[in-house]
Each structure stands twice: as C-alpha cells, then as structure tokens.
Amino acid sequence: MKKLISKQLFVAKAFLDLVALFVLFTSPLAAQEVSVLESEAMTIIAKRCLSCHNAEMKPADLVLTTRETAVKGGKSGPALSPKHPEESLMVRKIFADEMPPGNPLTKEEREAVRGWIDAGAPWSMTLAKASAVRPRAGLNWWSLQPLRTVSVPSPAGIPPDWSASPVDRFVYAQLKEKGLKPSPPADRRTYIRRATFDLLGLPPTPEEVESFLQDKSENACEKLIDRLLASPYYGERWGRHWLDVIRFGESHGYEQNHLRERAWPFRDYIIRSFNLDKPFSRLVLEQLAGDQIAPNDPEIEVATGFLVAGVHDTVPIANLEGQLQQRANDLDDMVLTTGAAFLGLTVNCARCHDHKFDPILQADYYRVQAAFAGVHHEERELATQAERDQRHSRERPILDELDRVKERLAKLKKQVMPLVEKGRDEIAKHYRPAVDSKVNEEIFSPASARLVRMTILATYDQGPGKGAEMATHLGRE
Ligand code: HEC
Ligand code: HEC
C-alpha cells in the first residue's frame, strides 16, 4: 500500500514537472535551447525542402522526412552528419545556394540549420510537407515563454487623473498607439450597476444604489469593490465560470446520464476557494493532487474531484476491447481538461498523432496520461482519519447487534423452513398446477364428443386473442 502511494506521489510529481516543463519555468536552459533549435530546423526543412525531398518524389534518392532517411542520404551518400555541420552534404548544398534550387535560404535560416546540426541534430518527429500541413509551433511559441517582468509604460500626455493601475497604463498606451481617446468615466449609477453585475451576477438593490450615490468619500469606489469582493455571492458567480472551464457536471453526461448525487462538495470547494481568494497556483495543485498533498484534510482532498468531474461512460461493456476503450476515454478526459484548463493547450490532440500545430508529441500525451493511471471514477468518504475512527467506534455496537440478530434469524429459519415446505405441498394438492409457458397438460375423464371447443378467456397482454375460440374435430361427422 505504502509503495503504491509513493508511486502515485512520484507520478503526481512527474506530472507537475511536466507541467513546469510546458511553461518552461524550470527546464534547464540548454535543453530549452536545443528544443528551440529543433523546432526551427523542422520548420525550415518542412517548408523549404519537403516539397521535393518527400517519399514520393525523392530527387537524388534523398528523403528528408526523418532523421534516419536524412542520415542515410541519397545518391551521393549521407546528407546529415549530426554534430558535424561541415561534413553534412545538406549544409554544403545550402551554403552553396544550390538548395533549394533557385530559391536559396536566408542567412538566418542557413545558420539555424548549421547550429541545429552542431547541437547534434535532434529530430524527434516525422515531418510532412509544409504545403499540406501548417508547421507545428516550436517551444519558442510566445505563449510558452517563461513569465518575465515587463516595464509599465508611461506614455506622454496621460491624464493626471488616469488610473495608476499598471493594467490601465497598458490600456492607455494601446489607445494612444491606435489614436483612440478613452471613454469618459461612467456615472455613479452606471458604475455600481456594472460592478455588481460583474462581480456578483446580480443587479444592486435600490438601497445599495442610493447609499453609493450618497457616499461622497474619496474612496467610495474602492469601498464598493471591497464589499462586492467580500460577498459570498462573488465565489458563486466566478466559481461557475471555473466550473465551466473544467467541464464540471452533476451527472455522468453519457448514454446513461445518471445524476451524481455527491458531486456538490467539489462545487462548494470551488466557491469557497474563490471566496478565500486562493492563489491560482495553489488551486491548480489542489485539483491535481489534493489527495496526495493533504490526505487527511477533506477540505483539500475534495479538490481532486476535478479529475472525475467530466463525461463518464457508465454503460457496462462485455468485451475487453470495449472496456479498455472506455478506460482510455476516461483518462483522455483528464488529459484534455488538464491541458485545456491549466496550459491552454489541446494536449489531447496528440492521443493519436503528434500535435499538428503545438509542440506536443504523441509520447508527451502518454507521459501525461500515465500520471493519471491511478485515478478511477469512484466515491470516497470525505473525512479525516479521526472522524473515520470515530464513526467506526459509533457504528461498531450497532453492527455487532446486527450480526447477532442475523444469527438468530438464521436459526429460526432452519426450524421453520421444513414446516413451510410441508404446508406448501399440502396446499398444492387443492389447486391446479400453475400455467407454464411451454407445456400444459390437463387430464380429464373420457367423454364421447364430436368437437372440443377451447375458449381463451384471457391472454397475458389482453390483446386481440381475448375471448377467441377454437374448435377441434375429434372424429368423423
Ligand atoms: C524544388 C525541388 C527541391 C527543393 C525544394 C530542394 N531540393 Fe534538394 N535536390 C533537388 C534535386 C532535383 C536534387 C538533385 C539534383 C542534383 O543532383 O543536382 C536535389 C539534391 C539534393 C541533395 C544532394 C543529394 C545527393 O545525394 O546527391 C541534397 C543534400 C539536397 N538536395 C538538400 C536539400 C535541402 C536541405 C533542401 C531544403 C533546404 C532541398 N534540398 C530542397 C530538388 C530540391
Ligand atoms: C482519435 C484519434 C485522433 C485524435 C484525438 C485527433 N486526431 Fe487528427 N488525425 C487522426 C487521423 C487518423 C488522421 C489521419 C491520419 C493521417 O493522415 O496521418 C488525422 C489527421 C489530422 C490532420 C491532417 C493533417 C495530416 O497530417 O494529414 C490534422 C490537421 C489533424 N489531424 C489535427 C488534429 C487536431 C487539431 C486534433 C485535436 C483537436 C486531432 N487531430 C486529434 C486522428 C486523430
């Protein structure tokens, strides 16, 4: 058991590392540079070489879709010697402006290819023609860059009463750049209405409007916003948006759309988290690994409801392939939501092939998926160990009593059953046997007759057979 848990912990950690890798917070610079070099080289080859050096056309027998074919080379031998750009035929052809014919690479592109080969020519994917596929974004894609501190602009001519908030400074700089003037400030009545709708999802009451209009203090707006942020409705309003982002549902959402009667503690956890102003990084951690970081704290353990809050197929499937497919779909749902909600990336596209647009390999998908291998759809008790022990000691005497009653019942049954059997046989003698759906035999004393009439008085479904009659000739007329 201990081993299992530590393995899960390890997997959860591995996953978090992977998340960190995606956002490039912790990956070592060297590895990061190498992947940037790779993605640049891949883009150049896909765009500038593969319209000719693909598997169908292969001029001079050279195919540049994989590292192996490039190393193997064409008519003149190897085209790529990793770590040795000067020996690579590719580089010589490129620098001699021979390739691509009549359409040489730019200086930057040439240097990029040279630098990439110098770094060992990492090449982890099969390339496709750029005309057929948009090249994938590299790890140098803007949204994958580490967070940096930027300087807040202070454009000339900024009005003295303009907000001091850095966000508003950026807004002003953009307005100025586009030659636009800021809108005039909203009047008080509009302001409180907008703010209340925005933060609570409801209009202000007439009394709230009135008291805001009367408030002549300098920080009236700040006080209003503080009051709204402190309202418990704030968590309900904004928690709902988050529940949408992470596809939370209170039913399984598949063919048998059964209600999830006990999904609400997770919903309440989200509302609570918003009202507590929990840092986002903490919210992410708790949802992915709450049971690992706080196994004895139900308030946090409940957060992992995130993993199983999506569509779940509950229809039992008899064959193994179907069951494996169902399981793969469950895990896919976890990968999908984790990627989309926390990374803003459709990681799940790489379930069947390397991502066509983002720098995610199919191998990455299964690395992420492996982090969830221990997660199954089940209900778990939300209680601390002490609460569990307490409940067990409360229930113990009741369960013991139940056992004693069951034992007595079994003894009584043993005494009574022979009498019941006997009575049943006795009663049966007085009745005709019950009707059987296959064979019914009835014996009566012989009588001479020309015809026998059978009258069906009722059928099980009260259908048209009711009251039908059949006559059977028994002998010659
Ligand atoms: C418009 C089509 C076309 C494009 C685009 C093109 N090539 Fe070529 N490439 C050829 C042809 C045709 C030959 C054979 C010509 C020859 O032998 O002189 C060739 C030959 C080569 C050879 C020599 C192969 C050998 O074994 O003799 C190398 C290396 C090469 N190309 C690399 C590249 C690289 C790298 C790119 C992209 C930067 C590229 N080519 C883009 C058409 C193309
Ligand atoms: C369930 C498996 C599966 C998933 C998930 C999947 N694809 Fe595909 N995709 C395929 C198959 C199969 C092909 C066709 C195979 C081929 O031509 O290589 C394909 C082809 C493509 C192509 C055509 C380009 C090409 O190389 O021929 C694009 C673009 C594409 N997928 C994008 C996506 C995106 C974006 C996602 C996520 C939103 C996605 N795929 C998710 C299976 C999948």
159-187: average pLDDT: 88
Q: Which residue has the higher pLDDT, 457 or 305?
A: 305
258-285: average pLDDT: 96
The dihedral over CA atoms of 191, 192, 196, 199, expressed in degrees to the nearest 10, equals: 50
Residue 107 Cα, ligand 1 centroid: separation in angstroms? Answer: 18
For the chain, the average pLDDT equals: 86
For residues 124 and 34, is the Cβ–Cβ distance under 8 A? no
Pair of tokens at residue 325: 């497919």
Residue 430 Cα, ligand 2 centroid: separation in angstroms? Answer: 74
Task: Give the whole-angstrom CA distance, residue 339 versus residue 365.
Answer: 10
pLDDT at 198: 97
The ligand whose atoms approach the alpha carbon of 350 most closely is 2
Q: Which amino acid is located at 307 in the chain?
A: L
Confidence label for 472 from pLDDT (cuts 50, 70 and 90): low
Q: What are the tens digits of pLDDT across the range 291-338?
A: 999 988 999 999 999 999 999 999 999 999 999 999 999 999 999 999
43-52: average pLDDT: 89
38-55: average pLDDT: 89
pLDDT at 160: 81
Rg for the chain, CA atoms, rounded: 37
For residues 125 and 137, is the Cβ–Cβ distance under 8 A? no
pLDDT at 17 over 70: no
Q: What are the tens digits of pLDDT across the range 362-382?
A: 999 999 999 999 999 988 889
Q: Which residue has the higher pLDDT, 290 or 127?
A: 290
Neighbours of 99 (CB within 10 A): 23
Nearest atom, ligand 2, residue 349 CA: 37
Confidence label for 442 from pLDDT (cuts 50, 70 and 90): confident
Residue 162's φ and ψ, nearest 5 degrees, are: -65, 145
Q: Phi-psi category of 271—alpha, beta or left, where left has phi over 0 and alpha has psi -120 to 50?
A: alpha
pLDDT at 467: 53
Residue 145 Cα, ligand 2 centroid: separation in angstroms? Answer: 26
The ligand whose atoms approach the alpha carbon of 41 most closely is 1
